[in-house]
Structure 1
C-alpha cells in the first residue's frame, strides 16, 4: 500500500518506518530539534525526533 508523503521532505534514513522509495517521508508531520536544546550552528547539531526504527 502506497503511503502519502510529505512534499519537499527528503530523508535517506532507510531503516525508519516512515521512509519510502525515493527517499521520501510518510510521517504525518516531522519534528527536528537541536542537540540538548542548544542553538544549532550546523546540520550535525540537529536530529529528527520523528525517527522510528523499522522492524
Structure 2
C-alpha cells in the first residue's frame, strides 16, 4: 500500500503542505464502470472542498 498519497488540489480539506493527502482512505472511481484506459477516465470521490 502507498506510504504517501500526493494531491495538488489545495482547496480540498484533506490537502496539506507538500501536496500531502491526509485522508484516512482514498476512493477513486472510473467513468466507465470498473475499468479505465487512462487517468482522465477516473475521479477522486474523496475530495471535499475546504470551507
- TM bucket by the smaller chain? 0.7 to 0.9
Higher helix share: 1
Structure 1: which 5+ runs fail to align? Answer: 1-5
TM-score between both structures, scaled by the size of structure 2: 0.86
C-alpha displacement at 1:8, in angstroms?
A: 2.2
**Which residue number in structure 2 is paired with residue 12 of structure 1?**
8
C-alpha displacement at 1:24, in angstroms?
A: 0.3
Give the aligned CA root-mean-square deviation in angstroms. 1.6
Structure 2: which 5+ runs fail to align? Answer: none
The alignment of Structure 1 onto Structure 2 pairs a total of residues equal to 50
Deviant stretches of 4+, over 2 Å: none
